């Protein structure tokens, strides 16, 4: 446990939206938070397609994801490693984010199906009544998707779609990504100034 309190858990799955995941990791590390990371195989495929990086799941190197990762701040766990601390409620955390969250992962979490470390860690956060944030990026949504979102919300999760706003007048993709990452940080209780807030000059000339 760091001086900043319990670590945060970030899981990356195979939905579109890899830039959100990498930006969140960079933001949390830049804020001196300790992050425990796990990724699904599909997440690697999406990252390769969207941002041109393909970290190894078996021989993970933080430098394959981000530059200048502070020593000891990013802790990686293989998606099949159920001996990992984040697979147990006795391992204290300050919350977990699944970003992006595929509909398959969301459905598994909604129904308590824990076939990998992503879904097991999410299930742990629900049972321990800790913050769990799911960031889907899917459109359009069918009834199964919507019912699964309702189910996880009733169980205590926060469904935070990757929906950038426009009132802060984004000047490019980085600003749009930063808005979503800022909203995730808000839900985690992580102080940030990634984008202007409504009422603080956002949208003004």
Q: Is 59 exposed, middle or buried (0-12, 13-18, 19+ CB in 10 A)?
A: exposed
In this prediction, residue 4 has a pLDDT band, given cuts at 50, 70 and 90, of: low
How confident is the model at residue 1, as a pLDDT? Answer: 44
| 89 vs 169: CA distance, rounded Å | 41
For the cut 90, the answer to whether the pLDDT of residue 5 exceeds it is no
For the cut 80, the answer to whether the pLDDT of residue 3 exceeds it is no
pLDDT mean across residues, the chain? 94
Determine the CATH number of domain 8-188: 3.40.50.1950
In this prediction, residue 203 has a pLDDT band, given cuts at 50, 70 and 90, of: low
Question: Which one has a higher pLDDT value, 130 or 69?
Answer: 130
Domain residue ranges of the chain, discontinuous segments joined by +: 8-188
- CB 174: neighbour CB atoms within 10 A? 11
């Amino acid at each position: 446990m760091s001086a900043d309190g319990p670590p945060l858990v970030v899981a990356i799955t195979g939905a579109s939206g890899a830039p959100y995941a990498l930006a969140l990791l960079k933001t949390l590390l830049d804020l001196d938070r300790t992050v425990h990371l796990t990724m699904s195989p599909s997440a690697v495929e999406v990252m390769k397609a969207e941002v041109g990086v393909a970290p190894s799941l078996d021989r993970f190197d933080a430098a394959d994801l981000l530059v200048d990762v502070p020593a000891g701040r990013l802790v990686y766990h293989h998606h099949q490693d159920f001996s990992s601390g984040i697979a147990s409620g006795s391992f204290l955390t300050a919350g977990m984010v699944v970003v992006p969250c595929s509909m398959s992962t969301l459905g598994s979490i909604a129904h308590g199906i824990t076939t990998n470390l992503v879904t097991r860690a999410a299930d742990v956060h629900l049972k321990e009544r800790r913050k769990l944030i799911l960031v889907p990026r899917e459109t359009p949504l069918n009834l199964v998707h919507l019912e699964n979102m309702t189910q996880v919300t009733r169980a205590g999760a926060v469904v935070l779609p990757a929906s950038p706003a426009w009132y802060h007048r984004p000047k490019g993709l980085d600003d749009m990504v930063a808005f979503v990452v800022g909203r995730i940080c808000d839900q985690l209780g992580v102080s940030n100034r990634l984008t202007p807030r409504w009422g603080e000059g956002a949208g003004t000339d």
